[in-house]
Structure 1
Amino acid sequence: MFLRRRLTVAVIGLTAITLAATACSQSPPAGGPVTDTLVVYSGQSGDYQQNLNPYSPSVNEGPGTIFEPLFFFNLTSRDAPPVPLLGTRYAWNGDGTELSITLRDNVKWSDGQPFTAKDVVFTFDMVRGNPSMNNTGFQGETTAVDDRTVTVRFPAPAYMEEPQVLGKLFIVPEHLWKSIPSPANDVIAKPVGTGPYVLEDFKPQAFTLKANPSYWGGEPAVKKVRYLSLSGNQAGADALQAGTIDWQTSPVPDVKNTERIYPGYRALVSNINQITLFSCSNTQLGCQGPQTDPAVRKAIYYAINRGQLNALAFQGTAGDISPGLALPDRDRDIVSGRLRERIAPANPEVGKSGQLLTGAGYAKGADGIYAKDGKPLALTVKVVAGWTDYITAVDTMAQQLQQAGIKLTPQQVSYNEWADARGRGQYELLIDSLTPGPAPDPFYVFSYFFSTATTAPVGQTANPNFSRFSDPAVDNALAELKKIAPSNQAARQPHYETIQTALESAMPCIPVLTNGTVNVYNAKEFTGWPSKEDMYAFPAVWQRPDQAQVFKRLKPAGA
């Protein structure tokens, strides 16, 4: 289920804009009805493959919109209380080993069956029993006290499980899922959920969600949400210009002048997701290639010109990144003072890069490329076709690394091929983002992407420790953090320091920049969008379950 930079897929084709023009919202005629269909574009490319399984790494949609968690946690704010969804109250016992949850009454599945505590127990037990679905490492024992109360008991204090269990485990209907032979692999083509939307239709070019008329929170004002497939970021910008999409999360040209270029639209940029070069790093789990050497990974880290990269690929919207992978701004009190560098260098340090390679047994050849045992230091980096910002980024890095004696070859592939290679570890490098988890705490980035519990041997699906990183010291620090209440920062900091220094030393994900997530939205046709003054959810079409909070908050203008 874990969420990446973009989690839905799109298709390449000249018919895309035509489809948008016939299916999307347009300005209503004077005195005519307001539109109640929101058309969204995530910026991805490649045919939609119908997958509505909220626990699949390649899910198209569903978490939050069709399948709900118990509560919603706002990862943009440390002060925002959890929003009750299928749950209404929860409490820990005195030592943090048992979580008691009260469930909402009078909730029905979209097929009319009642939602009960048995559905929660079934879901939690299913996740615990399927490693490829269990990307949080959940080990709780769940019991139904009655139809409206469940308890989750952990073998040790588990305070950090709170937003994961309550906010990232999407509840599924026992009466349907209990007969699925392999729930981790089933695409759930006809989903039944409790959420504000249900699936109306699904085609390779686009799919549509429609409002759930029996939703416990009331039928949403936005009656339909249509996910379009386009050929990439430029096609998205063209659709904005034509007024045929309402919400796009992907780069647009000259984003600082959005309101002038796209009348009626506004832009919002947020810096939370961390751009890295994922490496298949662990030879013990089957990774192969020069990127398995930490010296090579760190040499790449020092060879990158981040200032140039930000200007050329990201219009200056990206931010600094720390080699310990805690956010420099949001997590400033957590960023370790033991790091060699608190912030990744903005300018390349080619000399340091070369020293690392020489120390690892590489020598520069006559062609300027380092080599070892007769093999040039050459790597491929996978990037999704149509992701113009990332394509520009890897093309730019290829030129930068060439100057440092490293040959980097970008390889554009479809989203489906990219996601499959990432999950199975069948790549050398690929560009992606570390997403922040369910709450504003770096613990979740660390536990999702760098815990031994969330990885797998090459050929098997990891979710989401795609780099195959494994370090007993990091695993132990994560286990200790679970035992300490988040309010006790002094006791937590030594464990954060252990993790950050280990990640800086091993660098399984090579830090690039903190991504400036660009949203352009139709303020003329819809009201209720997140803003810097009211960031009630992280604004991104592909961020789940935040997107459902946005859909529920929006209203057609004039309605």
Structure 2
Amino acid sequence: MSLHARWRRARAAAIGAVSLGLIATGCGGSSGGSSTDPDTLIAYTGQAGDWQRNYNPYSPDAIGGKGTIYETLFFFNVARQDEPASRLGTEYSWNDDGTELTIDLREGVTWSDGEAFDAEDVAFTFNLVRDTASFNSFGFDGDTEIVSPTQVKVTFEEAAYMDVPQLLGKTWIVPEHIWSGIEDPETDIMEEPVGTGAFVMHEFKPQAYTFASNPEYWDGEPELKKVRFVSLSGNQAAADALSAGEIDFFTGPVPDMENFEKNHDGYKIITTPMNQMALVTCANTDLGCEGPQTDPAVRHAIFHAMDRDTLNSLAFQDTASEISPGYTLPERDAAYASAQLENRTASMTADVAQAEEILEAAGYTRGSDGIYAKDDVKLEMSLRVTAGWTDYITAVNTMAEQLNEAGIKVNVNQASFNETTDARNSGNFELAIDSLYPGASPDPYYVYYQFFHSSSTVEVGESTNPGWARYSNPEVDEALEALTQMDPDAGQDARQPYYDTIQAQIEEDMPYIPIMTGGTTSQFNAAKFSGWPTDVNMYAFPAVWSHPDQSEIFRNLKPAGE
């Protein structure tokens, strides 16, 4: 089956703060332009504090390079149903039973150090991912054979149709001649990255690093000559920098979104429903999770006690939208939403009585302070949020007040990005706010596999990303494995029973408590650069921190007037 026949998280941040003056140096603020160099785009991804130099694309601490420096074989657009675009690969096809995947590779590509790219690099990367558990988020177990310098064949024991977008669209190809000499690729920080992408490493400073266009890029040198990634102290500093014309691209909340374009000459704003916001719970007691949130009754009570309309208004300027407990996007994935869900979408208003009924049926009683308890243990939990993320901070503080009315006490704990992420990945938390980010293509299967399949489940104390809840359900695993082996061209009727099973189970277990579908809002300098995604031409998900979408946008931008 040919390529044309088959297919028609997250923000990075860290501790500390810097002033706008540090960022403005050499890139003076003025309306309609953020830099004295009209070919340089200034981007802010959410980083607060010094960058830690690491361009290993498989490291959880990587600060950049995925897509821009390290390419994939194809680009899959998660924002709409596009055919995959060729990058280092040109075509791919399956055999009749979905157990052999043949991939043709692009000729004439060189690594940024001048070495030739070929099938050995692809085979090495695939084997590296297969054999390194922390790299293998989708359970890839294929054997890769080099057929020729421009072709590889991947053989699976069973049909593996659904591996394609992740293997071909989210696997960053690395140079075998360098990486084969790395003693520990999981921990190597990779200060000087070598890739095939449209950009190369140019300059690093703790508060800003710069990529430059690759003059030897196989698709021609980009018209955007430099991208500078800067550090600020948080969302408010980003809003101030946008107002001063000191940054060109930001994805996050700003004041008065409705009037942003009127108040920022030359800038545009776009909101895309994509990331599904949730209260992440450490849910699995068998793997060492502790706390009241390990009780499904508590998780369901929290679900019903949220007043989402209020959260949307106060924290998200009404840019968020409904969410399904089955984690299908209500708009994009409407065809996959199960009719068997108890709640097709989460209520936008609170049902405190329902929350109380659930807790009392589970043996909780209200204390004199109004907070429920069970077996002399008060229903009190810590909720982690990243410092500087003003929308999430407002949301959780508001949520804490709402849950208190239902007899649930939540203590908000702000910390640096690194501290929050480390706690979440290691399971040393009770609640945390984050988003279930989209998968490799516009199919809910990938969200399910990333966040709900037990392959990413480990004991508390061991690091996992993204299996933060440490969720394990044999029925979900079985349904996902069946979907993995099923040709998507088999049709909706054949696939839907498995989606029904998955959604029913995750609604019942609720290891991730649904909040709302986040309206991912980006602001960009359209007066300085043309070629940005629009509602009419959503050629990539327009988020500065999303990979490889970020690189697709940079490839398309042109300085104004060109």
Matching residue of 1:13: 17
Select the residue among 512, 519, 526 that pairs with 1:523: 526
Q: Which runs of 5+ in 2 are unaligned?
A: 1-8
Whole-Å separation in 2 of the counterparts to 1:363 and 1:34: 64
Select the residue among 456, 463, 466 that pairs with 2:465: 463
The answer to whether structure 1 residue 326 and structure 2 residue 323 are counterparts is no
TM superposition shift of 1:418:
1.2
Q: Taking structure 1 as reference, are residues 296 and 468 closer, same or farther at Cα in structure 2, changes over 3 Å only?
A: same
Matching residue of 1:253: 255
Whole-Å separation in 1 of the counterparts to 2:177 and 2:37: 39
Matching residue of 1:62: 65
Whole-Å separation in 2 of the counterparts to 1:204 and 1:310: 35
Whole-Å separation in 2 of the counterparts to 1:375 and 1:408: 14
Structure 1 segment 18-417 matched on structure 2, within 5 A: 18-24=21-27, 35-78=38-81, 80-417=82-419
TM superposition shift of 1:214:
1.2
Given that residues 46 and 414 in structure 1 are in contact (C-alpha distance below 8 angstroms), is that contact kept between their aligned partners in structure 2?
Answer: no
Which amino acid is the alignment partner of residue 445 of structure 1? Answer: V
Given that residues 32 and 527 in structure 2 are in contact (C-alpha distance below 8 angstroms), is that contact kept between their aligned partners in structure 1?
Answer: no
Which amino acid is the alignment partner of residue 79 of structure 2? Answer: T
Q: Taking structure 1 as reference, are residues 543 and 296 closer, same or farther at Cα in structure 2, changes over 3 Å only?
A: same
TM superposition shift of 1:189:
1.5
Matching residue of 1:506: 509
Any idea what the Cα deviations from partners look like across 1:436-463, whole Å, max 9, x if unmatched? Answer: 1111000000000111112211111112
Whole-Å separation in 1 of the counterparts to 2:242 and 2:93: 46
Whole-Å separation in 2 of the counterparts to 1:28 and 1:532: 24
Any idea what the Cα deviations from partners look like across 1:134-189, whole Å, max 9, x if unmatched? Answer: 11111111111010000111111111111111101110011111111111121212
Whole-Å separation in 2 of the counterparts to 1:46 and 1:134: 30
Given that residues 119 and 151 in structure 2 are in contact (C-alpha distance below 8 angstroms), is that contact kept between their aligned partners in structure 1?
Answer: yes
Which amino acid is the alignment partner of residue 425 of structure 1? Answer: G
Whole-Å separation in 2 of the counterparts to 1:172 and 1:373: 54
Whole-Å separation in 2 of the counterparts to 1:97 and 1:90: 13
TM superposition shift of 1:324:
0.7
Whole-Å separation in 2 of the counterparts to 1:136 and 1:391: 31
Matching residue of 1:441: 443
Whole-Å separation in 1 of the counterparts to 2:244 and 2:534: 24
> 1:75 aligns to what SS in structure 2?
coil
Matching residue of 1:481: 483
> 1:275 aligns to what SS in structure 2?
strand
* Greater shift in the superposed pair: 455-464 or 162-171: 455-464
Whole-Å separation in 1 of the counterparts to 2:27 and 2:120: 40
Q: Taking structure 1 as reference, are residues 51 and 33 closer, same or farther at Cα in structure 2, changes over 3 Å only?
A: closer
TM superposition shift of 1:44:
3.7
Whole-Å separation in 1 of the counterparts to 2:435 and 2:205: 28
Q: Taking structure 1 as reference, are residues 384 and 440 closer, same or farther at Cα in structure 2, changes over 3 Å only?
A: same
Whole-Å separation in 1 of the counterparts to 2:330 and 2:111: 42
Whole-Å separation in 1 of the counterparts to 2:36 and 2:287: 58
Identical aligned residues as a percent: 52
Which amino acid is the alignment partner of residue 243 of structure 2? Answer: Q
Which amino acid is the alignment partner of residue 54 of structure 1? Answer: P
Matching residue of 2:537: 534
Whole-Å separation in 2 of the counterparts to 1:23 and 1:226: 11
TM superposition shift of 1:357:
1.2
Which amino acid is the alignment partner of residue 5 of structure 1? Answer: A
TM superposition shift of 1:43:
2.6
CA RMSD of aligned residues (A): 1.6
Which amino acid is the alignment partner of residue 441 of structure 2? Answer: A
Any idea what the Cα deviations from partners look like across 1:388-432, whole Å, max 9, x if unmatched? Answer: 000000000000000000001111110111111121111111100
TM superposition shift of 1:34:
6.4
Whole-Å separation in 2 of the counterparts to 1:463 and 1:435: 12
* Greater shift in the superposed pair: 505-514 or 130-139: 130-139
> 1:333 aligns to what SS in structure 2?
helix
Q: Which runs of 5+ in 1 are unaligned?
A: none
> 2:334 aligns to what SS in structure 1?
coil
Which amino acid is the alignment partner of residue 535 of structure 2? Answer: K
* Greater shift in the superposed pair: 361-370 or 484-493: 484-493
Any idea what the Cα deviations from partners look like across 1:346-397, whole Å, max 9, x if unmatched? Answer: 1111111112111222110000000112221111111110000000000000
TM superposition shift of 1:205:
1.3
Whole-Å separation in 2 of the counterparts to 1:311 and 1:494: 36
Which amino acid is the alignment partner of residue 525 of structure 1? Answer: K
The answer to whether structure 1 residue 545 and structure 2 residue 542 are counterparts is no
In the TM superposition, structure 1's runs of 4+ consecutive aligned residues that sit over 6 Å from their partners are none
Which amino acid is the alignment partner of residue 94 of structure 2? Answer: W
> 1:547 aligns to what SS in structure 2?
helix
Whole-Å separation in 1 of the counterparts to 2:27 and 2:337: 44
TM superposition shift of 1:124:
0.5
TM-score, normalised to structure 2, is 0.96
Which amino acid is the alignment partner of residue 484 of structure 1? Answer: M
Count matched residues: 552
Matching residue of 2:561: 558
Given that residues 26 and 36 in structure 2 are in contact (C-alpha distance below 8 angstroms), is that contact kept between their aligned partners in structure 1?
Answer: no
Whole-Å separation in 2 of the counterparts to 1:530 and 1:12: 32
Whole-Å separation in 1 of the counterparts to 2:509 and 2:92: 39
Given that residues 72 and 172 in structure 2 are in contact (C-alpha distance below 8 angstroms), is that contact kept between their aligned partners in structure 1?
Answer: yes
TM superposition shift of 1:203:
2.5
